[in-house]
Structures are given as C-alpha cells and as structure tokens.
Structure 1
Amino acid sequence: MNHESLARGVPHAAPGAIVARALTGHLHIDPVEGHTVWFGRNRPNVDLCVGENDLRVSRRHGVLTRRDGHWWVSNTGQLPIRLPGTRWLFRDEESVPLNSGYTPLFVRGSREREHLLELYVADGTAKQPVPQHDSVTQPPTRWRFTHDEHLLLVVLGQRYLLHEANPQPVSRQQAAHMLAELQPDANWSVKRVEHMVADVRARLSAGGVHGLLREEVGEPVGNTLNDNLLRELVLSTSLVPPDLALLDPLP
C-alpha cells in the first residue's frame, strides 16, 4: 500500500468527492447524495478498516454521510473521535460537516492509542504542493500587547511557559495578587484582570482565533476560554519562556 499522506493534496478528484485513507487501505468516493462510508474495526462489515487489532475501537466506530452538498462525520462507537482544533466527537452527538481540503480524524483506542483516519474533500482546485526548499519561512502570527497586558498574560500563563504536563491558567485572584506585588502602584484588582483578559480574548477572536468566546465552547466554560487563549499565545510564540524573567522580582 502507498502510505503517502493526504495532507499533500489529491490532485485528481471531482469537486465534492472524498478520499479516505487509513493504515489498512484507502477509498475514493464520488459526491453522491445519501452515500455512506462506514469505518471501524470489523473489516468485513465496514468500508474502511481502522484499528482492527484494538478491541477499544468499535466494530462500526463511525460513518461519513453525503447530504445537503456536504460530507458529515458521525460517531457510532463507544469512545470519542478527536477532530482538529482539540474538538472531540462523542457517540450520538450531532454530525460534524467536513470542510474542503484535509481533515485528520483520530479514533481513540486502548492504552492512549489513537488510530489515524485521513480525509480529503476535493473542491476541484487542489494541486500537489510545490517544494519550496529555498523560500523564506513564513513567521507565525505574533500578537502584540501593551506592557500591562503582556505582564498580565505572563502571570496568567506562567505554567504554560514552564512546560508543565497539564497546565492551567493561574486564577484571577492569584494573578491580581502577583501583579499587585510586581506593580504596587498600578491598582491591580480581580476586576481589572477579568476586564483586561476579556479585552485580549475579544481582540484575538476578531483576528480569527477560535474558542475564545463563550458561545464557541458551550457550558460549562470553566477555564476553557483562558486555556485556549494561552495555548494560542504559546503556539504562536507571542509568549515565550524568557518572558518569565518578568516575574523575577517576586519573592
């Protein structure tokens, strides 16, 4: 079998067609309304076998369906399917529409294993990417902040900058206390922390970052909004570990 990744494109596919690839094989399906493609562990009873030696993978773990001009993915298995953007799709949840282009799905298995199912929905314009060995590297989008915003975000995200295994944002109360120690004359309070962080999230959301608004993540919100914010700042290198030097004056 050819293990070439679909992430590199599908140059010869009709608009709306979907190509699916797993470790055991691949399929090319035309965009016929009502068409279904089953995937899971039971090779004889699915269209594409995924995780055939993993008993945590359901025999029919999920299905792709063509309807209303789109391909939709549904989870029919016992364990969740991980989609891009840290989203999880659970059994009996509403189907998720697939965007044109490349989408990797990760089927949860045993002992933290995840089985990859690559999908590519053609839009009629896909071409094999051209090698660009000598081209200038495109820098990430680095977000800019005022001095006080930057200091607040370093305080809030210090555990992420320390590369802790499962970091969480510092609480509003603790952040306000630390900031008051760093800037005794700056009138830091829990309310000021809340308002400034909310302003930063709104600004980044308007700039195209998903998962920073309450309506985008659902209830209960908990730390999700600030967790998403801090992960974006670290991944975009808007916050970097040397920023922790700003906290050196703390006792």
Structure 2
Amino acid sequence: MASRVSKVSLLPKDIGSLSRTVPPALPGTLFVLGANGGMSVAPDADFLLLFGRNEPDVHVCVGAGDTCVSRRQGMIIRDSSRWVLHNTGKLPIRFPGSRLVLRGDRAQLPTGYTPLFVVSPRQEHLLEVRIAAPAPSSGPGNGVEACGDKTYEQGRRGLSPEERLVLVCLAQRYLRNDPQPQPLTWAQVAFELGELRPAERWSAKRAAHIVANVRKRLSKEDGVPGLLEEEVPQPVGNALNHNLITDLLVTTTITKSDLRKLEE
C-alpha cells in the first residue's frame, strides 16, 4: 500500500497551464497550481490542501504581495467522493462566470479543469484547479486520465495568430503571475513586438487597433461584458483590457504556454 507521502506530489512552476498540461493520474486526483508551483493529491491521501498569499503557511501560493489576500485564503479537502473548496479568507473566490464563494462558504469542485479567481480590489489572482477524470471507455482502460482532455474547449475564443501575439504580449504580466498585474501600455507592446519582429513595423496605434477589434467582436458575437467603454464606469483606465484579459484567461484562450510566442 502506498504511503501518504507518495500520494502527495509537488508541481513545478514551469509545468504550464493545467488546462492543457496535466500528468497522468488516477481518477479523482486533485491538481492545484498557483504562481510559484503547485501540488497534486491522490483522492485517498487524506490530505487538506491550503492556499493563500503567505507561502510558508500554505501548500499553494496565490496572491503573493497582495495584502488583501488572506495568508490562508482557503482550503480544498476530500469529502466523501468529491473535492470541496472552502473559503476561509476575507476575499470572495470566483468560479468561471460570476459565481462567488464568499468567506465561510464552500463549493464542490467539478471534474476537469476549473480556473478559480481570488477577487482582490485591485485585480483577480488565478488559482488553477484540475480533477482527473476517468479515461474514456474506448481507451486503454487503465484508469489514467488522458492529457488531451479539454473541459473548456468550447469556451475558447477564436483569435488569429496576429491577435494572439498582441494579446499575449499585452497580458504577459498576468501570464507570468505578477503579484499585481496590469496590461502593458501600447508603447510597451509596440516596443516588444518591434524587437521580436522588426520587419513588421509595429506601432502603439496598430497594437491598440487590433485589440479594440477583438474587444468589439467578443462583445458582439460572444456577449462578453465589460469590453466596451459604455459598459464600464468612468474613469475607464485599464478596465477594458483587464476585462478582456480576464475573459481570455477564464476561457483558457491564452495560457502560460503562449508566452513562448514572445521568445521565438
């Protein structure tokens, strides 16, 4: 019989998004990934996983540097046959969409990939969660989840290669788990893309025009809220781009693995 220690493993911070990358695992295995890495827990490990901003006090760090996030913001524990999220911190935790788990509340976690967001006054901090599903009946039948399982495939937004490049550059602080991420300025985007692809004559105006078209399209065709100036209170500031980036992260349209595009 495997020991408890062997049923709990660390995940490196460079593993990539759990929406696309997950090690083979027995059904019911819990994976949780934060800014500095994460952890996997077997369903029979009898282990309470803690997450929050103070890394020495928790198993998975989220919101490091943001004092609005509690040192121990929450925990995930196995209850009968389900993994359950408990919010023990001050801030609400948001599921994809608008569902909030408030302080003292709990919520069952679904099988598959679930991006969770700790909702701070300044920004939302991503905590990736995945629960391994049984292998398809037509598969090998060894009880191990196939890495190609993509729970949120249908929710991903359609982007052209050019749009994806600009948006990954714009959102790179979010993808790199900056403690207090903000979109890059248009000048910064233009400079970085100009350095990456000097023959394409990148300018701040060109980058802004591409992103504005994406916001308009997703607002009209996908009904994504908060992407148009008339939908957010003044002063607008970075709100439109922040809302766009949040949607792209929640739907796993862009993930950490896309950062490779800025290194090509």
TM-score normalised per structure 1: 0.50
- Structure 1 residues 65, 164: closer, same or farther in 2, change over 3 A? same
2:32 and 2:54 mapped to 1: Cα distance? 17
What are the superposed Cα offsets for residues 210-236 of structure 1, whole Å, 9 maximum, x if unpaired? xxxxxxxxxxxxxxxxxxxxxxxxxxx
1:12 and 1:161 mapped to 2: Cα distance? 38
Note the C-alpha offset of 1:10.
2.3
* Contact 1:63 1:73 (8 Å CA) reproduced: yes
* Contact 1:33 1:67 (8 Å CA) reproduced: no
2:147 and 2:54 mapped to 1: Cα distance? 33
**1:2 matched to 2:21:** no
2:89 and 2:229 mapped to 1: Cα distance? 33
Note the C-alpha offset of 1:51.
1.0
Which runs of 5 or more structure 1 residues have no equivalent in the other structure? Answer: 131-137, 141-156, 168-251
- Superposed counterparts of 1:185-196, under 5 Å: none
1:103 and 1:160 mapped to 2: Cα distance? 22
User: Aligned to 1:165, which of 220, 223, 231?
Assistant: 231
* Contact 1:33 1:69 (8 Å CA) reproduced: no
- Superposed counterparts of 1:76-155, under 5 Å: 76-93=88-105, 95-111=106-122, 113-125=123-135, 126-129=145-148
When the two chains are superposed, the root-mean-square deviation of aligned CA atoms in Å is: 3.0
Note the C-alpha offset of 1:86.
1.2
1:62 and 1:110 mapped to 2: Cα distance? 18
* Contact 2:15 2:21 (8 Å CA) reproduced: no
Matched residue type, 2:99: R
Matched residue type, 1:127: A
Note the C-alpha offset of 1:32.
2.2
1:163 and 1:9 mapped to 2: Cα distance? 36
Question: 1:66 maps to which residue?
Answer: 78
**1:26 matched to 2:92:** no
- Superposed counterparts of 1:27-42, under 5 Å: 27-32=39-44, 34-42=46-54
1:62 and 1:37 mapped to 2: Cα distance? 9
Identity value in percent: 41
2:52 and 2:126 mapped to 1: Cα distance? 11
1:160 and 1:41 mapped to 2: Cα distance? 28
- Structure 1 residues 36, 165: closer, same or farther in 2, change over 3 A? same
Q: Which has the larger radius of gyration?
A: 1
* Contact 2:38 2:59 (8 Å CA) reproduced: no
What are the superposed Cα offsets for residues 15-60 of structure 1, whole Å, 9 maximum, x if unpaired? 1111111111110111126421000011111111111111000000
1:160 and 1:66 mapped to 2: Cα distance? 36
* Contact 1:79 1:91 (8 Å CA) reproduced: yes
Question: 1:195 maps to which residue?
Answer: none
Which runs of 5 or more structure 2 residues have no equivalent in the other structure? Answer: 1-12, 136-144, 150-155, 159-222, 234-264
Paired residues in the alignment total: 141
* Contact 2:52 2:63 (8 Å CA) reproduced: yes
What are the superposed Cα offsets for residues 55-94 of structure 1, whole Å, 9 maximum, x if unpaired? 000000010010111100011111101111310110012x
Note the C-alpha offset of 1:127.
2.1
